[in-house]
Amino acid sequence: MAFIPHTEHDIREMLAVIDAPSIDALFDEIPAALRVQGLEGIPEAMSEMAIARLMSERARQDGIPLSFLGAGAYEHHIPSAVWAITTRGEFYSAYTPYQAEASQGTLQLIHEYQTMISSLTGMEVSNASLYDGGSAVAEAALMAVRAHRKSKSLRILVPSTVNPNYRRVAVSTAGNQGLRFESVAYSRETGCIDRLALEALRGEDLAALVIQQPNFFGQLEDVDALTDWAHSAGMMVIAVVNPTSLAMLNPPGAWGTKGADICVGEGQPLGVPLSSGGPYFGFMTTRLEYVRAMPGRIVGRTVDLEGKQGYTLTLQAREQHIRRGKATSNICTNQGLLMTAATIYMSLLGPAGLAKVAESCMVRTQQLQSALCRVRGVRAAFTGARFHESVLLLDRPVAAVLRSLEAQGILGGVDLSADYPELGPALLVCATETKTDDDIERFANALGVARQDARAA
């Protein structure tokens, strides 16, 4: 059965109505030399039934491994109601809400999302979401340069404890616009930002300091002291946070004396499945004084001439609506479906439920670290508190250990050797509320076997 339901007869009738001899004639303004004559490597079309069978077979090949991966994308339990509601036609097929009078439901949902994410981060205003966590960091850096009127600098301090993928995306997105992203070292004891390395930069014209909490290693930074230091040094503060952790940790709006200036992060933990890497969505909140420097758009609640409550696109300073030179960014849409899922997820769990998830993540992480460090040749890399991730140092190459673990049905973590070679054989592991005592014990036993396999290899 073809996906497109038009028969040859249907097509001929439609062409006759518009007086066109063929479908190709509709594109006759395109020179023949520019037209693709064939798609090499693309197989013949398959029926819906055949493609469903093929994809099911390929999914079975993936198996269902026990995963201890983290590094920015996390396996959480998602109540079945989240996607049962999200995939209703009203949400699933709705287009971006350009016409307020026809999009009140979508606009209200975005407004509810903005309210929830602002409350969670302790900030005053949120946009309607962004593409993902990495692009949100890039947009926050651009926003900081626009908003920081006292600084003439395009320099952004991005500590090496910030997610390496976020750092790469920021450079790719904003580096060509003149921004300079400068690294700051971390303490080999705590895995947190080296305060002495920061202090050496005092007095220089710097636009902003990026602080990730918890950082890429899972360690908890001293965000109060870092925020106050940055403000005293004349910088803005960009907070990069895991939204689940905010159910337990102080929100960025309460960091230090004044709070962070901009807060961004990856929204995937809020009801979005891993899905082999996406799509995900990013979030951004800020202080009200910086709202006009914020990219994207904002939905507001108002009343009509009859006093009835309604919703509208209040602010959308993008190039579709104003001159390109005055646009804050080219963020023309938001990850609306994923944002919808996050709103429903937060609504269902509520503050108490989200706090329970966060607490369970911390308990499981400590349990995982303790169990794995009982294996010979394995020790924790850093001291101090952490949130659902931990760095372990091994006495043999991590890649070989991970291959053995995968053969045992376990995705054992992320090899840090490429991004942090100074650590030596280092493994980033993660545990969320989805892991059980048996899961952790199975991982510890498998790691012992993998260590032996790696030595034999």
- pLDDT (tens digit per residue) in 85-141: 999 988 888 777 777 778 899 999 999 999 999 999 999 999 999 999 999 999 999
- Residue 440: HSE in the Cβ half-sphere, 13 Å Cα cutoff: 22
The answer to whether residues 360 and 334 belong to one domain is: no
- Nearest to 386, CA basis, from 242, 286, 254, 263: 242
What pLDDT score was predicted for residue 323? Answer: 60
pLDDT band at 414 (very low <50, low <70, confident <90, very high): very high
Please tell me the pTM assigned to this model: 0.89
Mean pLDDT of 133-158: 94
Q: Distances in Å between the alpha carbon of 141 and those of 186, 209, 287, 457?
A: 21, 9, 15, 45
Q: How many domains are contained in the chain?
A: 2
In the DSSP assignment, the letter for residue 211 is: E
- Does the structure show a pLDDT above 80 at 3? no
Q: Distances in Å between the alpha carbon of 361 and those of 41, 66, 75, 367, 434?
A: 45, 16, 11, 10, 9
Among the residue ranges 139-143, 173-177, 252-256, the one predicted with the least confidence is 173-177
Instruction: Say how far apart CA 116 and CA 343 lie, in whole Å.
Output: 8
CATH number of domain containing 401: 3.90.1150.10
The answer to whether residues 421 and 307 belong to one domain is: no
Q: DSSP per residue over 313-332, as a string?
A: EEE--STTTS-GGG-S----
What pLDDT score was predicted for residue 180? Answer: 97
Instruction: Say how far apart CA 432 and CA 174 lie, in whole Å.
Output: 33
Residue 159: inside a domain: yes
C-alpha triplet 236, 244, 328: angle, nearest 5°: 40
Could you give the 3-state DSSP secondary structure of residue 426?
Answer: strand
Q: Which residues pair with 96 in a beta bridge?
A: none
Question: What are the helix (H) ranges across 374-436?
Answer: 398-407
Residue 163: inside a domain: yes
Q: Which residues pair with 380 in a beta bridge?
A: 392
pLDDT in tens, 62-78: 888 999 999 999 999 99
The answer to whether residues 303 and 393 belong to one domain is: no
Domain boundary among 285, 311, 345: 345
pLDDT in tens, 325-369: 666 766 666 678 999 999 999 999 999 999 999 999 999 999 999
| End-to-end Cα distance, the chain | 51
The answer to whether residues 70 and 197 belong to one domain is: no
Determine what percent of the chain is predicted with pLDDT higher than 70.
95
The answer to whether residues 368 and 269 belong to one domain is: no
Residue 59: inside a domain: no
Domain boundary among 345, 366, 384: 345
Residue 20: inside a domain: no
Residue 44: inside a domain: no
pLDDT band at 219 (very low <50, low <70, confident <90, very high): very high
In the DSSP assignment, the letter for residue 267 is: -
The answer to whether residues 314 and 400 belong to one domain is: no
